[in-house]
Structure 1
Amino acid sequence: MARQHPEEPTLVELTIEEVKAMGKQGIDHPSTRPVITGGVVGAIAGAVLPVVTWPVGLFAGAAIALYTRVKR
């Protein structure tokens, strides 16, 4: 009889768990500061670039930072 391996969590599931943990632990969570920093950098880039607005830059920067934290 073949052994069944539990499915590995998907990237979406990992991201949701990371966001939940960040919400519970706040600034003490290891991913919170890099995600905030990514959002700030994105917002500044969005404010400087004429094509992107600062809210889009904020979201994109935070999303990229979160993705790099979850992907590790």
Structure 2
Amino acid sequence: MEQDNRDPRGGSSFSRDAREELAGMLQDGFDHPSTKPVLAWGAMGAVAAAILPVVGVPLGFAAGAGYKFYKRIRPD
């Protein structure tokens, strides 16, 4: 029997979708379609953070990668 991936409000579960996407990225590595864009946005965030005096490079990387990861799961 197939499980329903929708929550009671009518949308799919973000945490379930994120877990599946991350598992696919970890399993497939650079062959997964989301890995390269997420890492590229992380690198752009790190470069932007290096320019800003208040934000550190690791935080910039996490922000850039997190934003793109979110947009890969929820494109709208």
- Please classify the TM superposition score into its range, dividing by the shorter chain length: 0.7 to 0.9
TM-score by length of 1: 0.86
Return 5+ residue gaps in structure 2 as ranges. 7-11
Is the radius of gyration larger for structure 1 or structure 2? 1
Percentage identity across paired residues of the two chains: 40
In the TM superposition, structure 1's runs of 4+ consecutive aligned residues that sit over 4 Å from their partners are none
CA displacement 1:10-56 (0-9 Å, x = unmatched): 11211111000000111010000100001000100111111210000
Q: 1:49 aligns with which of 52, 61, 65?
A: 52
State the aligned residue count: 67
- More helix as a share of residues: 1
TM-score by length of 2: 0.82
Q: In structure 2, what is the Cα distance between the partners aligned to 1:16 and 1:30?
A: 15
Q: Greater relative contact order (Cα 8 A, min sep 6): structure 1 or 2?
A: 1
Quote the RMSD (CA, aligned, Å).
Answer: 1.1
